[in-house]
Amino acid sequence: MTSSGQTQAGQTTAPLLVLASASPRRIALLEQIGLVPDRVLPANIDETPAKGETPRAYAQRVATEKARCVAATLEDPALVLAADTVVALGRRILPKAEDRESARFCLERLSGRRHTVLTCVVVAPSASWPLGRHGTRLVETAVTFSRLTPYQIDALLDAGDWSGKAGGYALQGHAAGFIRALSGSASGVIGLPLFETGQLLRGQPGSWLA
Protein backbone atom coordinates (compact mmCIF):
# COMPACT_ATOMS: atom_id res chain seq x y z
CA MET A 1 0.00 0.00 0.00
CA THR A 2 0.98 3.62 -0.27
CA SER A 3 0.31 6.31 2.29
CA SER A 4 -2.74 7.44 0.30
CA GLY A 5 -6.02 6.90 2.08
CA GLN A 6 -4.57 7.78 5.46
CA THR A 7 -6.59 10.68 6.85
CA GLN A 8 -6.41 12.68 10.04
CA ALA A 9 -9.27 14.49 11.76
CA GLY A 10 -9.61 17.98 10.31
CA GLN A 11 -7.07 17.25 7.60
CA THR A 12 -8.23 17.15 4.00
CA THR A 13 -5.04 15.81 2.49
CA ALA A 14 -3.44 12.55 3.62
CA PRO A 15 0.28 12.88 4.33
CA LEU A 16 2.55 11.63 1.59
CA LEU A 17 5.31 9.13 2.21
CA VAL A 18 8.45 10.59 0.65
CA LEU A 19 11.66 8.58 0.32
CA ALA A 20 14.75 10.80 0.39
CA SER A 21 16.74 8.34 -1.70
CA ALA A 22 16.78 7.03 -5.26
CA SER A 23 18.29 3.72 -4.10
CA PRO A 24 16.44 0.85 -5.82
CA ARG A 25 17.43 -1.34 -2.87
CA ARG A 26 15.58 0.88 -0.39
CA ILE A 27 12.55 1.09 -2.66
CA ALA A 28 12.48 -2.71 -2.94
CA LEU A 29 12.84 -3.13 0.82
CA LEU A 30 9.90 -0.80 1.45
CA GLU A 31 7.84 -2.80 -1.05
CA GLN A 32 8.74 -5.93 0.90
CA ILE A 33 6.72 -4.61 3.86
CA GLY A 34 3.90 -3.32 1.67
CA LEU A 35 4.90 0.31 1.19
CA VAL A 36 5.36 2.26 -2.02
CA PRO A 37 6.59 5.84 -1.60
CA ASP A 38 4.34 8.53 -3.02
CA ARG A 39 7.46 10.41 -4.08
CA VAL A 40 11.16 9.64 -4.40
CA LEU A 41 13.25 12.76 -3.84
CA PRO A 42 16.99 12.20 -3.33
CA ALA A 43 18.59 14.73 -1.00
CA ASN A 44 21.33 16.92 -2.43
CA ILE A 45 23.74 17.28 0.49
CA ASP A 46 27.47 17.12 1.08
CA GLU A 47 28.24 13.64 2.41
CA THR A 48 31.92 14.27 3.13
CA PRO A 49 32.83 13.01 6.63
CA ALA A 50 33.92 15.75 9.02
CA LYS A 51 37.45 15.57 10.40
CA GLY A 52 37.53 13.11 13.31
CA GLU A 53 33.86 12.16 12.86
CA THR A 54 33.02 8.66 14.11
CA PRO A 55 31.03 6.24 11.94
CA ARG A 56 28.02 6.43 14.30
CA ALA A 57 28.01 10.23 14.34
CA TYR A 58 28.47 10.37 10.58
CA ALA A 59 25.56 8.01 9.83
CA GLN A 60 23.25 9.92 12.17
CA ARG A 61 24.25 13.32 10.83
CA VAL A 62 23.92 12.43 7.16
CA ALA A 63 20.57 10.65 7.54
CA THR A 64 19.21 13.58 9.56
CA GLU A 65 20.43 16.13 7.02
CA LYS A 66 18.87 14.13 4.16
CA ALA A 67 15.49 14.06 5.90
CA ARG A 68 15.54 17.73 6.85
CA CYS A 69 16.73 18.84 3.42
CA VAL A 70 13.88 17.09 1.60
CA ALA A 71 11.23 17.98 4.22
CA ALA A 72 12.10 21.66 3.81
CA THR A 73 11.27 21.52 0.09
CA LEU A 74 7.76 20.08 0.54
CA GLU A 75 4.62 22.14 0.63
CA ASP A 76 2.27 19.16 0.96
CA PRO A 77 1.67 17.32 4.24
CA ALA A 78 4.29 14.57 4.15
CA LEU A 79 6.52 12.28 6.13
CA VAL A 80 10.07 12.04 4.81
CA LEU A 81 11.99 8.79 5.28
CA ALA A 82 15.77 9.00 4.93
CA ALA A 83 18.62 6.59 5.62
CA ASP A 84 22.38 6.39 5.45
CA THR A 85 24.54 3.28 5.53
CA VAL A 86 28.18 3.26 6.67
CA VAL A 87 30.71 0.43 6.57
CA ALA A 88 33.31 0.85 9.30
CA LEU A 89 36.52 -0.86 10.32
CA GLY A 90 36.85 0.31 13.89
CA ARG A 91 36.64 4.11 13.71
CA ARG A 92 37.53 4.16 10.01
CA ILE A 93 34.73 4.87 7.52
CA LEU A 94 35.20 2.93 4.29
CA PRO A 95 34.18 4.80 1.12
CA LYS A 96 31.36 4.10 -1.26
CA ALA A 97 32.88 2.29 -4.21
CA GLU A 98 32.64 4.61 -7.19
CA ASP A 99 35.19 2.78 -9.36
CA ARG A 100 36.97 -0.57 -9.54
CA GLU A 101 40.00 0.59 -7.58
CA SER A 102 37.98 1.99 -4.68
CA ALA A 103 36.04 -1.30 -4.55
CA ARG A 104 39.32 -3.26 -4.51
CA PHE A 105 40.61 -1.00 -1.73
CA CYS A 106 37.58 -1.90 0.40
CA LEU A 107 37.54 -5.63 -0.32
CA GLU A 108 41.25 -6.02 0.43
CA ARG A 109 40.69 -4.46 3.85
CA LEU A 110 37.52 -6.42 4.62
CA SER A 111 39.11 -9.75 3.65
CA GLY A 112 39.22 -12.13 6.61
CA ARG A 113 38.01 -9.44 9.02
CA ARG A 114 34.97 -8.50 11.04
CA HIS A 115 33.50 -5.09 10.35
CA THR A 116 30.47 -3.06 11.34
CA VAL A 117 27.66 -1.81 9.12
CA LEU A 118 25.69 1.08 10.58
CA THR A 119 22.43 2.25 9.07
CA CYS A 120 20.61 5.23 10.49
CA VAL A 121 16.94 5.75 9.62
CA VAL A 122 15.27 9.12 10.17
CA VAL A 123 11.67 10.23 9.67
CA ALA A 124 10.80 13.93 9.53
CA PRO A 125 7.41 15.52 8.86
CA SER A 126 7.03 18.47 6.53
CA ALA A 127 6.01 21.79 8.07
CA SER A 128 2.48 21.37 6.74
CA TRP A 129 1.96 18.11 8.66
CA PRO A 130 2.27 19.21 12.30
CA LEU A 131 0.85 15.92 13.56
CA GLY A 132 3.93 14.07 12.34
CA ARG A 133 6.72 13.05 14.68
CA HIS A 134 10.46 13.15 14.21
CA GLY A 135 12.21 9.86 14.90
CA THR A 136 15.62 8.21 14.56
CA ARG A 137 16.89 4.63 14.76
CA LEU A 138 20.53 3.58 14.43
CA VAL A 139 21.17 -0.09 13.69
CA GLU A 140 24.57 -1.78 13.96
CA THR A 141 25.33 -5.12 12.34
CA ALA A 142 28.54 -7.13 12.60
CA VAL A 143 29.66 -8.78 9.35
CA THR A 144 32.63 -11.13 8.89
CA PHE A 145 34.20 -11.90 5.52
CA SER A 146 36.17 -15.04 4.80
CA ARG A 147 39.71 -14.48 3.62
CA LEU A 148 39.61 -13.50 -0.04
CA THR A 149 42.24 -14.56 -2.54
CA PRO A 150 43.34 -12.10 -5.25
CA TYR A 151 41.43 -14.24 -7.76
CA GLN A 152 38.24 -14.05 -5.67
CA ILE A 153 38.56 -10.28 -5.31
CA ASP A 154 38.95 -9.97 -9.08
CA ALA A 155 35.86 -12.15 -9.59
CA LEU A 156 33.83 -9.94 -7.24
CA LEU A 157 35.03 -6.85 -9.09
CA ASP A 158 34.13 -8.42 -12.44
CA ALA A 159 30.60 -9.12 -11.14
CA GLY A 160 30.09 -5.36 -10.87
CA ASP A 161 27.46 -5.25 -8.12
CA TRP A 162 29.83 -3.26 -5.90
CA SER A 163 29.14 -0.02 -7.77
CA GLY A 164 27.95 2.73 -5.44
CA LYS A 165 27.93 0.42 -2.43
CA ALA A 166 29.36 1.41 0.93
CA GLY A 167 32.37 -0.79 1.60
CA GLY A 168 32.49 -2.04 -1.99
CA TYR A 169 30.08 -4.96 -1.68
CA ALA A 170 26.39 -5.84 -1.70
CA LEU A 171 25.01 -8.38 0.77
CA GLN A 172 22.34 -9.31 -1.78
CA GLY A 173 25.00 -9.74 -4.47
CA HIS A 174 27.96 -11.98 -5.26
CA ALA A 175 29.76 -11.11 -2.01
CA ALA A 176 27.15 -13.10 -0.06
CA GLY A 177 29.10 -16.27 -0.89
CA PHE A 178 32.07 -14.98 1.12
CA ILE A 179 30.29 -13.67 4.21
CA ARG A 180 31.07 -16.09 7.02
CA ALA A 181 28.90 -14.53 9.72
CA LEU A 182 26.34 -11.79 10.23
CA SER A 183 24.95 -10.64 13.55
CA GLY A 184 22.21 -8.04 13.41
CA SER A 185 19.96 -6.75 10.63
CA ALA A 186 20.46 -8.16 7.13
CA SER A 187 18.08 -5.56 5.68
CA GLY A 188 20.10 -2.90 7.51
CA VAL A 189 23.23 -4.02 5.67
CA ILE A 190 21.35 -3.83 2.37
CA GLY A 191 20.30 -0.27 3.19
CA LEU A 192 17.10 -0.07 5.27
CA PRO A 193 16.54 -2.00 8.52
CA LEU A 194 12.91 -3.05 8.14
CA PHE A 195 12.02 -3.73 11.77
CA GLU A 196 13.23 -0.33 12.91
CA THR A 197 11.66 1.41 9.92
CA GLY A 198 8.36 -0.24 10.79
CA GLN A 199 8.69 0.99 14.38
CA LEU A 200 9.18 4.56 13.22
CA LEU A 201 6.17 4.41 10.89
CA ARG A 202 3.90 2.76 13.45
CA GLY A 203 4.78 5.58 15.83
CA GLN A 204 3.17 8.13 13.48
CA PRO A 205 -0.48 9.23 13.63
CA GLY A 206 -2.63 7.16 11.28
CA SER A 207 -2.35 3.65 9.87
CA TRP A 208 1.04 3.61 8.18
CA LEU A 209 1.60 -0.11 8.74
CA ALA A 210 -0.53 -2.92 10.11
Q: Which residues have a Cβ under 8 Å from the Cβ of 81 and sit 6 or more positions away?
A: 17, 18, 19, 20, 30, 37, 67, 121, 122, 123, 197, 200, 201
Q: Of 167, 154, 149, give the one whose Cα is nearest residue 103.
A: 167
The pLDDT score that the predictor gives to residue 13 is 57
What is the H or E stretch that residue 159 is in? helix 150-159
Mean pLDDT value of segment 116-140 = 97
Between strands 92-93 and 179-183, the pairing is: unpaired
Q: Is the pLDDT of residue 43 over 90?
A: yes
Instruction: Compute the distance between CA of residue 168 and CA of residue 163 in angstroms, rounded to an integer.
Output: 7
Mean pLDDT value of segment 86-111 = 96
Q: What is the mean pLDDT of the chain?
A: 92
Mean pLDDT value of segment 34-55 = 94
The catalytic residue positions are 84
The pLDDT score that the predictor gives to residue 208 is 77
Q: Which residues have a Cβ under 8 Å from the Cβ of 84 and sit 6 or more positions away?
A: 47, 58, 59, 62, 63, 66, 119, 120
Q: Is the pLDDT of residue 6 over 70?
A: no
Q: Is the pLDDT of residue 4 over 50?
A: no
Mean pLDDT value of segment 6-24 = 73
Mean pLDDT value of segment 27-42 = 95
